[in-house]
Chain A
């Protein structure tokens, strides 16, 4: 690691102020950032730790019935406390291992937008809203490709608001080494339609599978998506699977998610 200062603000306002320092970077659970620092691949001069910002932590239900998760809430907390949204809690309970879940946060995961991460699928699949210190961003506008988001320099994710679907399910087919998603599919059925978000597969990061959404919106059953397939073009091809294999898994995992949700 290179040398850096650490700030530990107690409020969002102080955190935002600290982010104003030269080459400041937010520190969530550090599960992505600390290994990056250890490998000397990043050199922030100040780390602004969010773990003591009480107003960014915890799970609650908003007045509009949405589930509100503070931006610095750990995966373990969501797994334990998001009982109104079981599919989300289950998704969080399968991220990494206990050490990762006890440190890693929703804000860190979304800010990082790893193409194989689980949260992006849940957030996009739920049509959630990302709340920052300056604005609210719809999930559909937030994810902008691998490791790329709508966040501005220094902008902090303070909360994520999830509308609660009638039924939902996340199916994760793990990459054997990292156990991130080789392909993960989040299916959520709302009164006004079905959303299907896919992670792990595309070179453009998390995406919505609109054909499947249309088919499932008219009939929510595994057979409704039985004949559908995504193309292997533009899918990630690596040591762990070709684009064609990932494309195939998108179909399988979608069916399984629908079966598990229905």
Chain B
């Protein structure tokens, strides 16, 4: 029986009413009286020395308020990086200065060079066009391997090379890993590319800076996944504004996918310029600007080797990855190919020895940072592709090869520094094989072949580390921030309550799911609970939403705060009922004395808290409001198994996804409908990466895929029909270390699906006699056809 409320109910997303009826309040909807607009003049070359930026003609143009260049920001900080990686020699990574406006040099197409603040946007754009740039173009560094091999052209002249760091993990295991390869009965090697992506949230980035001269307070409205992080980074490191003088508001946000985690120049600029101009300053990114200024994702070039013994047990994994950082370090960029990637290289398997080498490289391209899955899709893709290739080389069933090597005992400490608390990989594998009707595949393949098509079946397993994470652990790993989460629960006199959470919803449905948890804990209706998020002025310090952490970390903080509320409410109830506190039970929104029919309703207790006439004032304070900060003791480890069936048209190379099934273990699930939506969306993005999306630069550092004319997004008709697009989360091994037993579901789909699709395509091509053992993503018709015809 589906529940109609509380944990486990598919409550309809209450926020959708406003989103779907045009009543949302997005950052671009915010207009402040007297606001001015900014137009950024951005570099159209990838690399060059700035000789001069002549603004004299632009200065006097109609409506111009003020023009800024790099020189105006010499006194303020550069854009900070929130994570420091230590290289394999124990040295800190190379960390270049990242100016708000380019100074001295431009380093990627799209880098802002000057900014014009004017009364209207069109006036700002007119004046920006009148700025005369004198830039000597330099050769661009685009190819990562060339950037490392050749030091002639450096992205940053003050660094020793284009290498940000050369990371070895676990360095102490390297010799043993190499030895295992020497002893291996079989070694499978694969070189691959994890394609660069542009996140493309539906809402582009927007920033509105405001300044109150009377109180010397700055406010930034911005499209952020984590307003407190922006307040801390921008206030402390860039502009030198103390937190109590700076408010950051991220109202309704139309999708983020990671790219709205980071602190961007435009945010700092609008905040700075609002004070400098004593006027609110607004910037709304155009889609074209988004392509060349939103942090990109992925972009790894990897060689992976898998060693097996004579019984097909995995004995070692060794990888070498070049990870593109772009021209500057975006906020969390260094952590993605290291701590969110190297630590995942065990996957679902009990491989005893693993060595991961990552070379992070500066190039004249847009900075690269987290994008849905962040590091974990890259890890999963290489591991699951090499396992599939090994199965083919050894002539064994890819399902059985995986099963044979599954981790089955938990907790399990991997050789790459993490400890999985729970999981059951056979269960999700069994489930997905059942859902996908693998047994019926041969018949379906025959049907496809009768139509002249090739059909392939792809299987994939994955593990992710989510709910990031313990502050003390990430601190050791180089994080410059904590990763707890917070919640304040404010109960009103009449019994309704508000949760002020540090988590941020940009489409995930927190306003619906969070109340379901509290409703269950207290036994009141979900409609009595409201969620407030996204404003540093009325939520406790929080770290925001990414890494599938909201319910696992933010939800846990909310549970802790609610437990405090209940504990206090019980004290009040025991006073009202004249009973011992230990005898008070809370059920269905009423406090009762165990073993009696005496009870008092939730509302009477909350009223007493604020109208404390009959109240134990000598023991407890009036009021009913509690805050909790929750810092988890470990990551959570969602895992799953996915299958995909594709058809390939051998005449054109076109791939269609006929069936897709996923069996995820997310631990406990609060709102199944929301979880299924997250997985459907994640898989769609993963299919986008596998078949369509490709952010591509030419050798001069020009962005070739700079609009939707060339950057292919997945659309509904690229996905299988819903009856063959099955997502399942019935396999549940609850997380052992958070109060809800939840693991997080936001990224799974995007992590698990790309290798599933490619494995299926390879299976299809092999069935047609084509000796293709790998295809880089996206597997466009042109690439598939070329692979079949070489």
Q: A: which residues have CB within 8 A of B?
A: 1, 39-40, 173, 176-178, 182, 239-242, 245, 248-249, 252
Contact of A177 among B711, B781, B786 (CB under 8 A): B711
- CB A246 to nearest CB in B, in angstroms, measures 9
The 7 closest A-B pairs by CB, nearest first: A177-B712, A241-B782, A176-B712, A178-B709, A245-B782, A252-B651, A177-B710
A39 near B288: Cβ-Cβ < 8 Å: yes
A240-B780, A245-B782 as given contacts; A177 in contact with B652, CB under 8 Å: no
B430 contacts the other chain (CB 8 A): no
A177-B705, A177-B712, A242-B786 as given contacts; A249 in contact with B122, CB under 8 Å: no
Output the residue of B122, B651, B704, B705 with the most chain A CB within 10 A: B651
Mask, B307-322, CB within 8 Å of A = 1, is 0000000000000000
Contact of A178 among B651, B710, B781, B782 (CB under 8 A): B710
CA distance A239 to B789 in the complex (A): 18
A241-B782, A245-B785 as given contacts; A177 in contact with B122, CB under 8 Å: no
B494 contacts the other chain (CB 8 A): no
Mask, B701-730, CB within 8 Å of A = 1, is 000110011111100000000000000000
Chain A to chain B contacts (Cβ below 8 Å), 29 pairs: A1-B122, A39-B288, A40-B125, A173-B652, A173-B654, A176-B691, A176-B692, A176-B781, A177-B708, A177-B709, A177-B711, A177-B712, A177-B713, A178-B708, A178-B710, A182-B781, A239-B694, A239-B704, A239-B710, A240-B710, A240-B782, A241-B780, A241-B782, A242-B782, A242-B786, A245-B786, A248-B785, A248-B789, A252-B651
CA distance A173 to B785 in the complex (A): 14
CA distance A213 to B653 in the complex (A): 26
- Residue of A with least CB distance to B649: A252
CA distance A40 to B780 in the complex (A): 32
B696 contacts the other chain (CB 8 A): yes
Contact of A239 among B129, B288, B653, B696 (CB under 8 A): B696
A40-B125, A176-B781 as given contacts; A249 in contact with B652, CB under 8 Å: yes
CA distance A210 to B159 in the complex (A): 60
B708 near A176: Cβ-Cβ < 8 Å: no
Task: Collect the chain A residues with CB atoms within 8 Å of residue B708's CB.
Answer: 177-178
Task: Collect the chain B residues with CB atoms within 8 Å of residue A176's CB.
Answer: 691-692, 712, 780-781
Mask, B279-301, CB within 8 Å of A = 1, is 00000000010000000000000
- CB B412 to nearest CB in A, in angstroms, measures 41
- CB A210 to nearest CB in B, in angstroms, measures 23
CA distance A1 to B286 in the complex (A): 13
Given contacts A1-B122, A40-B129, A241-B781, could you give 4 more A-B pairs where the C-beta distance is less than 8 Å?
A: A173-B652, A239-B705, A240-B780, A248-B785
| Interface residue ranges of B612-657 to A (CB < 8 Å) | 651-654
- CB B103 to nearest CB in A, in angstroms, measures 26
| Interface residue ranges of B647-672 to A (CB < 8 Å) | 651-654
| Interface residue ranges of B742-790 to A (CB < 8 Å) | 780-782, 785-786, 789
- CB A199 to nearest CB in B, in angstroms, measures 16
CA distance A240 to B653 in the complex (A): 12
CA distance A40 to B122 in the complex (A): 11
Task: Collect the chain B residues with CB atoms within 8 Å of residue A40's CB.
Answer: 125, 129
Output the residue of A176, A182, A245 with the most chain B CB within 10 A: A176
- CB A36 to nearest CB in B, in angstroms, measures 12
Give the size category of B's interface with A.
20 to 34
Task: Collect the chain A residues with CB atoms within 8 Å of residue B694's CB.
Answer: 239
Task: Collect the chain B residues with CB atoms within 8 Å of residue A239's CB.
Answer: 694, 696, 704-705, 710
Output the residue of A173, A178, A239, A252 with the most chain B CB within 10 A: A239
CA distance A242 to B652 in the complex (A): 13
- Residue of A with least CB distance to B778: A176
- CB B192 to nearest CB in A, in angstroms, measures 19
Task: Collect the chain B residues with CB atoms within 8 Å of residue A252's CB.
Answer: 651-652
- Residue of B with least CB distance to A245: B782
Task: Collect the chain B residues with CB atoms within 8 Å of residue A173's CB.
Answer: 652, 654, 781
Task: Collect the chain B residues with CB atoms within 8 Å of residue A177's CB.
Answer: 692, 705, 708-713
- CB B708 to nearest CB in A, in angstroms, measures 6
- CB A238 to nearest CB in B, in angstroms, measures 8
Task: Collect the chain A residues with CB atoms within 8 Å of residue B710's CB.
Answer: 177-178, 239-240
Task: Collect the chain A residues with CB atoms within 8 Å of residue B696's CB.
Answer: 239
- Residue of B with least CB distance to A180: B709
CA distance A177 to B712 in the complex (A): 4
- CB A33 to nearest CB in B, in angstroms, measures 15
- CB A182 to nearest CB in B, in angstroms, measures 8
Output the residue of A1, A40, A177, A252 with the most chain B CB within 10 A: A177
Task: Collect the chain A residues with CB atoms within 8 Å of residue B704's CB.
Answer: 239
CA distance A177 to B291 in the complex (A): 14
CA distance A177 to B691 in the complex (A): 11
CA distance A176 to B782 in the complex (A): 10
Task: Collect the chain A residues with CB atoms within 8 Å of residue B709's CB.
Answer: 177-178
Task: Collect the chain A residues with CB atoms within 8 Å of residue B651's CB.
Answer: 252
- CB B713 to nearest CB in A, in angstroms, measures 8
- CB A235 to nearest CB in B, in angstroms, measures 12
CA distance A39 to B786 in the complex (A): 35
- CB B195 to nearest CB in A, in angstroms, measures 12
- CB A261 to nearest CB in B, in angstroms, measures 18
Task: Collect the chain B residues with CB atoms within 8 Å of residue A39's CB.
Answer: 288
CA distance A182 to B704 in the complex (A): 17
Task: Collect the chain B residues with CB atoms within 8 Å of residue A242's CB.
Answer: 782, 786
- Residue of A with least CB distance to B126: A2
- CB A4 to nearest CB in B, in angstroms, measures 12
Task: Collect the chain A residues with CB atoms within 8 Å of residue B125's CB.
Answer: 40
- Residue of B with least CB distance to A3: B122
- CB B521 to nearest CB in A, in angstroms, measures 47
- Residue of B with least CB distance to A246: B782
CA distance A240 to B693 in the complex (A): 11
CA distance A178 to B789 in the complex (A): 25
Mask, B255-288, CB within 8 Å of A = 1, is 0000000000000000000000000000000001
CA distance A249 to B713 in the complex (A): 23
- CB A198 to nearest CB in B, in angstroms, measures 15
CA distance A249 to B653 in the complex (A): 10
Task: Collect the chain A residues with CB atoms within 8 Å of residue B782's CB.
Answer: 240-242, 245
Task: Collect the chain A residues with CB atoms within 8 Å of residue B129's CB.
Answer: 40
- Residue of A with least CB distance to B711: A177
- Residue of A with least CB distance to B708: A177
| Interface residue ranges of B347-377 to A (CB < 8 Å) | none
Task: Collect the chain A residues with CB atoms within 8 Å of residue B705's CB.
Answer: 177, 239
Mask, B673-716, CB within 8 Å of A = 1, is 00000000000000000011010100000001100111111000
CA distance A70 to B654 in the complex (A): 36
Task: Collect the chain A residues with CB atoms within 8 Å of residue B780's CB.
Answer: 176, 240-241
- CB B135 to nearest CB in A, in angstroms, measures 20
- Residue of B with least CB distance to A183: B652
CA distance A197 to B498 in the complex (A): 66
| Interface residue ranges of B68-121 to A (CB < 8 Å) | none
Task: Collect the chain A residues with CB atoms within 8 Å of residue B712's CB.
Answer: 176-177
CA distance A248 to B652 in the complex (A): 8
CA distance A91 to B270 in the complex (A): 48
CA distance A239 to B694 in the complex (A): 9
| Interface residue ranges of B374-392 to A (CB < 8 Å) | none
- CB B216 to nearest CB in A, in angstroms, measures 38
CA distance A46 to B782 in the complex (A): 42
CA distance A40 to B125 in the complex (A): 10
CA distance A148 to B480 in the complex (A): 57
- Residue of A with least CB distance to B651: A252
- Residue of B with least CB distance to A256: B651
CA distance A245 to B651 in the complex (A): 11
Task: Collect the chain B residues with CB atoms within 8 Å of residue A241's CB.
Answer: 780-782
- CB A166 to nearest CB in B, in angstroms, measures 26
- Residue of A with least CB distance to B288: A39
- Residue of B with least CB distance to A252: B651
CA distance A242 to B653 in the complex (A): 13
- CB A132 to nearest CB in B, in angstroms, measures 29
- Residue of A with least CB distance to B789: A248
CA distance A252 to B705 in the complex (A): 27
